[in-house]
Amino acid sequence: MIHKKTIKAYVYTRDQGKCYHCGKLIRLNRTTLDHYFPKSLGGTEEFFNLVTCCKPCNRMKKSAVPKDWVAINIALFKRAVSDGKVSNPPCDLDELIILAHGVESVFRNKVNTVFEGEGYRLYVKENKIYKIVRFHHE
Ligand SMILES: [Zn+2]
């Protein structure tokens, strides 16, 4: 497990200290982390699902599911891979970056978040990629 402070520092830097929802600059000590896909509905504590959030926006958002959560999870996943934040890939980093950038969809099963590109799936849990499955479309 990655320490909470480490996660917050990365997310805050990545988002340039701005609330993801209203764009306001916030000091680190006033920052909350928002689970973009709500935690109450199974959203995970991973870099691709956490965004910098001011307190008023976090209170307002509650458990609403943003319409663009798929696109945001994918974009933040690509960013986390490029930043070397998704660890343990069963392939080398250059290959992983290429795979991450080809991701087109994301879904969740009971234990993982699965990022899917054409002909492959990346299984992610706790900011680790622990399985890459390649398949061929019939
Ligand atoms: Zn805000």
Length of the chain: 138
CA of 120 to the centre of ligand 1 (A): 36
Q: In this predicted structure, what is the pLDDT of residue 1?
A: 60
Residue 121 is assigned to a structural domain of this protein: yes
Q: Is residue 113 part of a domain?
A: yes
pLDDT value at residue 63: 82
Distance (angstroms) between ligand 1 centre and the Cα of 57 equals: 4
Answer yes or no: is 128 within a domain.
Answer: yes
60 CB-near residues (< 8 Å, 6+ apart): none
Whole-number Å distance, alpha carbon 51 to ligand 1 midpoint, is: 11
Asked, for residue 119, whether it belongs to a domain, the answer is yes
113-117/105-108 β-pairing? antiparallel
> Domain for residue 62, yes or no?
no
Residue 7: inside a domain, yes or no?
no
Q: What pLDDT does residue 71 have?
A: 97
Contact 54, 91 (CB under 8 A): no
Which residues form the domain of 123?
86-134
Tell me the CA–centroid distance for residue 12 and ligand 1, in Å. 13
Q: Could you give the number of structural domains in the chain?
A: 1
Cα(107) to ligand 1 centroid in Å equals 27
pTM (predicted TM-score): 0.91
43 falls within a domain: no
- CA–centroid distance, 34 to ligand 1, in Å, is 10
Percent of the chain scored above 90 by pLDDT? Answer: 74
Q: Retrieve residue 83's tokens.
A: 């930043």
116's tokens: 């899917």
Distance 59 CA to ligand 1 centre (A): 10
The per-residue pLDDT for range 39-98, each reduced to its tens digit, is 998 899 999 999 999 999 999 887 889 999 999 999 999 999 999 898 777 888 889 999
Q: Per residue, what are the HEC states of the chain?
A: CCCHHHHHHHHHHHCCCECCCCCCECCHHHCEEEECCCHHHCCCCCHHHEEEECHHHHHHHCCCCCCCHHHHHHHHHHHHHHCCCCECCCCCHHHHHHHHHCCCEEEECCCCEEEEECCEEEEEECCEEEEEEECCCC
